[in-house]
Amino acid sequence: MSDHKLADATILAQGLAFMDEQHLGLIPGIFPSTTYERSADNSYPKGKIYTRDHNPNYEQPEQVLAALEKGADAMLFSSGMSAATCVFMALKPGDHVVVPNIIYWSFRNWLQTFASDWGIETTFIENGNLAALKAAVIPGKTKLLWIETPANPTWEIEDIAAWAKIAQQVGARLAVDNTIASPILCNPIELGADIVMHSATKYLNGHSDVLAGVLICKENDAHWQKMRSIRASGGAVLGPFEAWLLMRGMRTLAIRVKQACINAMKFSQAFEQHPLVEQVLYPGLPSFNGHDLAKKQMKGGFGGMLSIRIKGGEAAAIKVAAHLKLIKRATSLGGVESLVEHRASVEGEGTLCPSDLLRISIGIEQVEDLIADMQQALES
Ligand code: PLP
């Protein structure tokens, strides 16, 4: 077994064999203590001081996520947004970053408002346009490239290896929001990325009952240590119960993601030619613009997220969503239950999302039930 590498499904199901050492329980306990006793010799024998820096419940999910993403270390945060923003807070005023236009809407807003107020200069470029990226980077000034792939809500695919090469050439880091693919379908560090981020609220937890985020690094370097100190001093950490619940959800990540991929592919195929559907956007469809790249860069599936553009525009799309009975109208994604949303309504003024688009997070239900639900909604 010594050279044998464990598969993701095994790492997840067994949780790297963490357990309740005190009682030999198979599942570690929940450790609510906010503080730890100092010894008479003035040391902290277990290395833990205060829960803003250390809690036993962070260790298992962090080590599991570092193993899944083939990284050197991982850090949990209280949300995906607090993880993402920490990467930018570790930059200095005047530093330049390049980001594609289409990324998770709230994060784009944050870059245009808070990050800009703090002196971070962001250049937004067309998704999938490497020539625009080459033109946008400023050697010595560009410190970070940030991509999300597939990108919310139209699922553009970025070439991670190509972005990593350009980052290296100009002395910048590449960070990848890997939320939509999950570590089961893509490992950006293996493709050259320096930092991977997830909204753990989505596929990692998978049950729509924990808000959490995570960063994983390729190298435990000075930049990583700076982010660690930003987390410790800012305190955007998970509670121990949430960290425990996240680990409980992650144990089934591999099987959930695989099923969501199968369902999303069948669902996309069922509606691609439908007379009331303008277009199905799903990286698994050969008709999708980034399909070949997705096939090259994603392992064994294209994810559970897709969007459907409805003929008849915004009003028709909202009406179809209103007639769905099984698929719930709610924001978020990556849970076991399928969700739909009229994305432009959520994003509001200034949205880049087509107004006829319904974003669908496909869950792990029996897919024929989901197809029947969409069929009846389109017909009514
Ligand atoms: N990244 C992506 C791709 C997302 O979809 C989201 C949330 O929807 C986030 C980041 C932010 O994560 P959170 O809601 O956990 O703060």
pLDDT tens-digit readout, 352-378:
999 999 999 999 999 999 999 999 999
Residue 310: give its domain's CATH number.
3.90.1150.10
Q: Does residue 148 line the site of ligand 1, with CB under 6 A?
A: yes
Residue 227 lies in a domain: yes
Q: Does residue 205 line the site of ligand 1, with CB under 6 A?
A: no
Q: Does residue 150 line the site of ligand 1, with CB under 6 A?
A: no
Binning pLDDT at 50, 70 and 90, where does residue 3 land? confident
**Average pLDDT over every residue of 55-63:** 97
Measured CA to CA, the distance from residue 293 to residue 321 in angstroms comes to 31
Q: Quick check: 79 and 212 in contact, CB under 8 A?
A: yes
Residue 1 lies in a domain: no
Residue 3 lies in a domain: no
pLDDT tens-digit readout, 278-302:
999 999 999 999 999 999 999 999 9
Task: Find the catalytic residue in 8, 95, 177, 356.
Answer: 177
Same structural domain, 238 and 341: no
Measured CA to CA, the distance from residue 104 to residue 359 in angstroms comes to 13
Same structural domain, 228 and 262: no
231 is known as an active-site residue: no
Residue 112 lies in a domain: yes
User: Which atom of ligand 1 approaches the CA of 148 most closely?
Assistant: 3
Same structural domain, 209 and 323: no
36 is known as an active-site residue: no
**Average pLDDT over every residue of 35-41:** 97
Rounded mean pLDDT of the chain? 97
Counted residue by residue, the chain has a size of 380
Same structural domain, 280 and 210: no
Same structural domain, 246 and 258: no
**Average pLDDT over every residue of 304-309:** 98
**Average pLDDT over every residue of 210-236:** 97
Same structural domain, 107 and 56: yes
Q: Does residue 197 line the site of ligand 1, with CB under 6 A?
A: no
**Average pLDDT over every residue of 108-113:** 97
Residue 375 Cα to ligand 1 middle (Å):
29
**Average pLDDT over every residue of 14-22:** 96
104 is known as an active-site residue: yes
Structure-block tokens of residue 294: 């997705």
User: Which atom of ligand 1 approaches the CA of 211 most closely?
Assistant: 15
Structure-block tokens of residue 171: 């002395």
Q: Does residue 80 line the site of ligand 1, with CB under 6 A?
A: yes
Ligand 1, atom 6, lies closest to the CA of: 199
Residue 104 Cα to ligand 1 middle (Å):
7
Residue 85: give its domain's CATH number.
3.40.640.10
- Percentage of the chain modeled with pLDDT above 90: 98
Last residue of a domain, one of 184, 215, 250: 250
Residue 2 lies in a domain: no
Residue 238 Cα to ligand 1 middle (Å):
15
Residue 235 lies in a domain: yes
Same structural domain, 217 and 241: yes
Asked whether the bond before 354 is cis by omega within 30 degrees of 0, the reply is no
Domain residues for 147? 8-250
Same structural domain, 213 and 266: no
β-partners of residue 101 are none
Structure-block tokens of residue 189: 């560090």
Count of domains observed in the chain? 2
Residue 354 lies in a domain: yes
How do strand 173-177 and strand 142-148 relate by DSSP bridges?
parallel
Task: Find the catalytic residue in 143, 202, 218, 256.
Answer: 202
Q: Does residue 153 line the site of ligand 1, with CB under 6 A?
A: no
Same structural domain, 295 and 212: no
User: Which atom of ligand 1 approaches the CA of 202 most closely?
Assistant: 15
1, pLDDT greater than 80: no
Q: To 10 degrees, what angle do helices 367-379 and 313-323 make? A: 130
258 is known as an active-site residue: no
Last residue of a domain, one of 226, 250, 274: 250
* pLDDT at residue number 341: 98
* pLDDT at residue number 234: 96
Same structural domain, 174 and 269: no
Task: Find the catalytic residue in 104, 194, 343, 356.
Answer: 104
How many other C-beta atoms lie within 10 A of the C-beta of residue 313?
Answer: 13
- Rg of the chain over Cα atoms, rounded to whole angstroms, equals 21
Ligand 1, atom 15, lies closest to the CA of: 80
Same structural domain, 149 and 283: no
Residue 221 lies in a domain: yes
Residue 80 Cα to ligand 1 middle (Å):
5
pTM above 0.75, yes or no: yes
User: Which atom of ligand 1 approaches the CA of 82 most closely?
Assistant: 16
Same structural domain, 309 and 228: no
Last residue of a domain, one of 250, 270, 304: 250
Residue 35 Cα to ligand 1 middle (Å):
30
pLDDT tens-digit readout, 122-150:
999 999 999 999 999 999 999 999 999 99
Q: Quick check: 285 and 269 in contact, CB under 8 A?
A: yes
68, pLDDT greater than 70: yes
